[in-house]
């Protein structure tokens, strides 16, 4: 349920135009996940994905919603 709520909150703060923006995985995010024992979403450092795709897949990732939290700093 937490993943669904994370996607909902992110979606409420993103405009239609911002859905076509991109998100880039950073070393800071992967380091955070490693240090805190989070699962990763399968994205490599510097890999870029559309925000729309990140939201679509966000609820399906097993504890891999960290990039959704990072959207607030990029969108």
Listed by start position, the domains of the chain span 2-74
Q: For residue 59, give the 3-state DSSP assignment.
A: coil
Determine the pLDDT at residue 75.
46
Determine the pLDDT at residue 27.
92
Question: Which residue, 18, 10, 15, is CA-closest to 72?
Answer: 10
Burial of 27-39, coded b for 16+ CB within 10 Å and e otherwise, reads eebbeebeeeebe
> Is residue 21 exposed (0-12), middle (13-18) or buried (19+ Cβ within 10 Å)?
middle
Q: What is the pLDDT along the chain (75 residues), one digit of tens a residue?
A: 566 777 778 888 888 888 889 989 899 988 888 898 876 667 889 999 898 888 777 655 544 455 665 665 554
């Amino acid at each position: 349920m937490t993943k669904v709520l994370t996607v909902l909150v992110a979606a409420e703060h993103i405009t239609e135009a911002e859905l076509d923006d991109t998100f880039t995985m950073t070393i800071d995010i992967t380091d955070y996940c490693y240090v805190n024992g989070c699962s990763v979403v399968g994205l490599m450092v510097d890999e870029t994905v559309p925000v729309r795709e990140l939201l679509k897949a966000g609820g399906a990732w097993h504890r891999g919603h960290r990039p959704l939290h990072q959207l607030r700093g990029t969108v």
